[in-house]
């Protein structure tokens, strides 16, 4: 089966310059190849990455930029070699849509670490030389390898944030064995990533403490998210009282912050994993060496662990806390994201608002 290419039949919202302002935009997707899936997008989550590249924070934006890499939708067409998916299936696409498929990491289902570099879902140069365009659009064509089955009973709006926010915290938690019941987990930051780390931690049977600078989040963290404890990270007395008491800490904060105070909270051989992107990571060697501690970094996850995470969420009824919005509200939502005024992930209702 093959689609007609060359028609500007994909509706989208795009940024044309570093102002990052999004407005309607039409373009053409590639024809559906033999290994491709064409997905009618129903929902797309809003991630901080959307701000980074619509506003050219890294100086490498390729305008017009169609952002969005938390994509959920329904299969409308499959290529002749596609056997994992059929028309009507619920499918997700995450942060990357291509890789070399032959290096040791690709062969191990860790395509996000592809030696030649994975191709990001938007603002990247694909193998054919085209610039990838993301999920603030009516449909997407992707190789089946980079598509994920979403169980029929799992809401598509809830599935979207799993493809970046969810997998970004799930991957290191599983890798570092943060799924051992009874162990203690600290979560720094309570945004889109942090609240998912709390949900996974509780599902794994961990004792979960949230560290935040916003005391206003305390009641919701304890009652709604089910955290065992809430600590205001600027309160030195609260922090000192928890010295050497955590097996794991997952740091989702992208703002600059000190690391030594958190390293002091780890038990001997404790692990702190950084998934945020502060401007610098600075700590005393003693914070690491004394106590045999580990600090590690992580990005999203390969195809193998991503599918595992989606299935885990469906089996344990884990759903991100979302605010569903129309595409026409996207610019305002991005402004609110900068102000951290979201609980805890915006999801665009593409199907019902992108016309």
Question: What is the token pair recorded at 66?
Answer: 């169609």
pLDDT per position in the chain (355 positions), as tens?
334 445 789 999 999 999 999 999 999 999 999 999 999 999 999 999 999 999 999 999 999 999 999 999 999 999 999 999 999 999 999 999 999 999 999 999 999 999 999 999 999 999 889 999 999 999 999 999 999 999 999 999 999 999 999 999 999 999 999 999 999 999 999 989 999 999 999 999 999 999 998 888 899 899 989 999 999 988 899 999 999 999 999 999 988 899 999 999 999 999 999 999 888 999 999 999 999 999 999 999 999 999 999 999 999 999 999 999 999 999 999 999 998 888 889 999 999 999 8
- Convert the pLDDT of each residue in 83-97 to its tens digit: 999 999 999 999 999
d(CA 7, CA 18): 27
| Main-chain dihedrals φ then ψ at residue 253, nearest 5 degrees | -80, 130
Q: How far is CA 152 from the centre of its chain?
A: 21
Rounded to two decimals, the pTM is 0.93
123-135 per-residue burial string, b: 16 or more CB within 10 A, e: under 16: bbeeeeeeebbbb
């Amino acid at each position: 089966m093959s689609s007609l290419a060359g028609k500007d039949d994909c509706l989208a919202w795009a940024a044309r310059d570093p102002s990052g302002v999004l407005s309607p935009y039409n373009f053409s997707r590639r024809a559906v190849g033999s290994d491709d899936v064409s997905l009618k997008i129903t929902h797309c989550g809003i991630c901080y990455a959307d701000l980074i590249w619509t506003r050219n924070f890294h100086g490498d934006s390729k305008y017009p930029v169609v952002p969005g890499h938390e994509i959920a939708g329904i299969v409308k067409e499959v290529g002749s070699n596609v056997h994992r998916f059929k028309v009507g299936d619920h499918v997700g696409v995450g942060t990357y849509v291509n890789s070399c498929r032959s290096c040791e990491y690709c062969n191990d289902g860790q395509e996000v670490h592809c030696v030649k570099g994975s191709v990001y879902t938007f603002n990247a140069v694909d193998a054919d030389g085209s610039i990838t365009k993301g999920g603030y659009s009516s449909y997407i064509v992707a190789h089946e390898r980079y598509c994920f089955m979403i169980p029929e009973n799992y809401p598509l709006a809830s599935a979207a944030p799993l493809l970046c926010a969810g997998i970004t915290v799930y991957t290191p938690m599983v890798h570092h064995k943060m799924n051992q019941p009874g162990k203690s987990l600290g979560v720094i930051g309570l945004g889109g990533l942090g609240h998912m780390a709390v949900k996974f931690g509780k599902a794994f049977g961990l004792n979960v403490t949230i560290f935040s600078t916003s005391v206003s989040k305390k009641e919701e963290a304890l009652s709604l998210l089910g955290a065992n404890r809430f600590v205001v990270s600027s309160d030195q007395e609260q922090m000192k009282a928890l010295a050497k008491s955590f097996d794991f800490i997952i740091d989702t904060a992208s703002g600059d912050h000190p690391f030594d105070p958190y390293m002091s909270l780890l038990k001997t051989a404790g692990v702190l994993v950084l998934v945020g992107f502060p401007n610098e990571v600075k700590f005393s060697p003693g914070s690491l060496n004394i106590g045999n501690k580990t600090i590690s970094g992580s990005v999203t996850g390969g195809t193998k662990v991503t599918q595992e995470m989606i299935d885990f969420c469906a089996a344990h009824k884990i759903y991100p806390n979302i605010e569903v919005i129309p595409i026409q509200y996207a610019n305002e939502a991005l402004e609110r994201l900068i102000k951290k005024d979201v609980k805890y992930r915006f999801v665009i209702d593409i199907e019902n608002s992108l016309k």
